[in-house]
Amino acid sequence: MTYTQLGLVAVLLAVALDLWAFRTRLVRRRAFWAAYAIIVFFQLVTNGMFTGFGIVRYEGDAIIGGSSPEGGAPTFIGDGRLAFAPVEDLLFGFALVLLSLSLWVLWGRKGIDRTPTAGPPIWRRER
């Protein structure tokens, strides 16, 4: 599978889990989209630094667009890139954020919490 196909599968899986499996329905809430707008801004900044400085490189056959020229930096916008990073990174970032928040809401509803919530671990407690 290409990076593009994996990104699309990740988004579809995260949305399906949010809407039907967990029934958290975060993608239907304005608060989620407002929070995601903030997150995606910083995702573009960090992805742009990693790919713009050449720390991370992508195989041109696996992404939309092409790879950067040998020894050169990728384009800032265009050729399937946004802020130097392939648009597929936005797909994976969205899936990661949505799945993390969906699980957080789901576990909160079920009352799953670490015990004790504060203080030293139970096994080190002095009597």
The pLDDT of residue 72 is above 90: no
Is the model's pLDDT at 127 over the cut of 70?
Answer: no
Q: How far is residue 114 from each of residues 13, 18, 110, 127, measured CA to CA in Å? A: 27, 23, 13, 21
pLDDT: is 54 or 14 the higher one? 14
Q: Taking residues 38-52, report their average pLDDT.
A: 93
Tell which residue, 45, 44, 52, has the closest CA to residue 84: 52
- For residues 88 and 93, give the distance between their C-alpha atoms in angstroms, rounded to a whole number: 9
Q: What is the pTM of this model?
A: 0.81
